[in-house]
């Protein structure tokens, strides 16, 4: 993140209220995942971590400004500020004109996006101290920090989601400034530029529906033999790499129309993206197990984790999804991540029906 990104953040805050009182001029150049705040300290001995988070709301009611609340976060769940804020669009009253209703609706969405951008800035600040700690004690290596038990899954997800959102701030801020209340109509078809904290429920639902459809088509066309044992990404052929990419949404659907018989990104680029995702999932699996498994995970955290692992989630209940994620973790003890990504849950070594999870 550089000074240009921060200018976009500042411009957006001025469009509909300031994000914070001011931006520090010390934020001149920050590499990936680098943030700095005293709010995150080395993991406490208790089972929960208390973060001081800013109150987030999309309600039009009057609330005290800069209200702080203490939120207890279990080490297995990501911080609340990394998720979209609740969105409650106003309903049209019988006596209300269409123009007045649309204006109120636009204001509700602007408030939602404003909260989302505030949360991005909060996450950016929280990540700085965490990254500084990793730099000082583990040479900026996440695998080393995880091996040393110096980081929780909550902190790991903070870093990952913060980097995902920060990269999208400049372009999204430009769209927000240009489109104002019409932003929801524009970004619904430009999901890739929208930070996660600024995605409306309808947009998330639509994205997951499209991803599951691509996954179904890809599984029908997958004819390559599934690798045995714990073979790595280097042993996968192009069709298997494409399947993982389509199943996890690692590239835009535009690439589906480019490349001939097996369309998509060049094989070298595909392999690098799959390697990064596999490494991420291996670290995430380890941190979930270390935090006690899936029993303490929020339903939305479980849903997001399953989407990242290529499992369908639409129309499913929390208990069934937790059993599926637990089956993934137990199957990982027997086979590689690559093999699980290339098979449906019904073909995993451990089935969800064999796992009992307490809610």
Dihedral sign computed on CA atoms, order 116, 121, 122, 123 = positive
Task: Single out the residue of 47, 40, 45 nearest to residue 82, CA to CA.
Answer: 40
Average pLDDT over the chain reads 80
pLDDT-derived band at 260 (thresholds 50, 70, 90) equals low
The pLDDT, as a whole number, for residue 257 is 66
Comparing 187-196, 224-233, 314-323, 345-354, the range with the smallest average pLDDT is 224-233
Distance CA 124, CA 128 (A): 7
Q: What is the pLDDT of residue 275?
A: 96
DSSP letters spanning 145-179? HHHTT---HHHHHHHHHHHHHHTTHHHHHHHHHHH
Confidence check: pLDDT of 297 > 90: yes
Q: Where is average pLDDT lowest: 24-33, 153-162, 302-311?
A: 24-33
Residue scoring higher pLDDT (4 or 78):
78
Neighbours of 164 (CB within 10 A): 13
User: Which tops the pLDDT comparison, 3 or 172?
Assistant: 172
Binned at pLDDT 50, 70 and 90, residue 52 comes out as very low
pLDDT confidence band for 140 (50 / 70 / 90): confident
Residue 208 vs residues 197, 203, 349: alpha-carbon distances, Å: 16, 9, 26
Query: How does residue 264 score in pLDDT terms, banded at 50, 70 and 90?
Result: confident
Inform me whether the pLDDT recorded for 283 exceeds 90.
Answer: yes
In this predicted structure, the answer to whether residue 348 has a pLDDT above a threshold of 80 is yes
pLDDT tens digits, 179-232 = 887 888 888 788 889 999 999 999 999 999 999 999 999 999 888 787 776 678
The per-residue pLDDT for 184 is 82
Q: For residues 19 and 302, what is the distance between their CA atoms, to the nearest angstrom?
A: 30
pTM of the model: 0.77
In this predicted structure, which of 202-206, 232-236, 269-273, 309-313 has the lowest mean pLDDT? 232-236
């Amino acid at each position: 993140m550089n000074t240009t990104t921060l200018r976009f953040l500042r411009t957006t805050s001025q469009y509909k209220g300031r994000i914070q009182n001011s931006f520090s001029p010390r934020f001149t150049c920050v590499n990936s995942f680098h943030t700095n705040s005293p709010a995150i300290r080395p993991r406490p001995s208790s089972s929960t971590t208390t973060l001081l988070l800013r109150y987030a709301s999309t309600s039009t009611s009057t609330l005290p400004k800069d209200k702080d609340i203490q939120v207890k976060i279990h080490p297995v769940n990501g911080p609340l500020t990394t998720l979209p804020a609740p969105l409650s669009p106003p309903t049209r009253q019988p006596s209300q004109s269409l123009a007045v209703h649309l204006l109120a609706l636009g204001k509700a969405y602007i408030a939602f996006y404003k909260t989302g951008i505030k949360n991005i800035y909060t996450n950016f600040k929280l990540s700085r101290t965490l990254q500084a700690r990793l730099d000082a004690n583990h040479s900026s290596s996440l695998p080393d920090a995880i091996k040393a038990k110096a980081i929780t899954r909550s902190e790991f997800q903070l870093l990952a989601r913060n980097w995902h959102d920060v990269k999208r701030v400049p372009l999204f801020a430009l769209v927000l400034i240009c489109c104002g209340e019409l932003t929801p109509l524009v970004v619904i078809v430009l999901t890739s530029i929208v930070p996660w904290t600024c995605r409306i429920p309808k947009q998330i639902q639509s994205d997951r529906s499209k991803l599951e459809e691509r996954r179904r088509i890809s599984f029908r066309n997958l004819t390559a033999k599934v690798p045995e044992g714990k073979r790595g990404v280097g042993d996968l052929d192009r069709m298997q790499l494409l399947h993982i990419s389509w199943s996890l949404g690692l590239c835009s659907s535009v690439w589906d129309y480019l490349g001939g018989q097996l369309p998509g990104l060049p094989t070298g680029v595909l392999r690098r993206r799959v390697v990064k995702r596999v490494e991420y999932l291996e670290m995430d699996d380890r941190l979930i197990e270390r935090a006690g498994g899936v029993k303490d995970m929020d339903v939305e955290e479980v849903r997001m984790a399953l989407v990242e692992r290529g499992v369908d989630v639409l129309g499913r209940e929390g208990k069934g999804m937790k059993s599926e994620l637990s089956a993934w973790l137990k199957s990982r003890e027997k086979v590689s991540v690559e093999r699980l990504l290339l098979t449906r849950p019904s073909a995993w070594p451990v089935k969800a029906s064999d796992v009992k999870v307490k809610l």
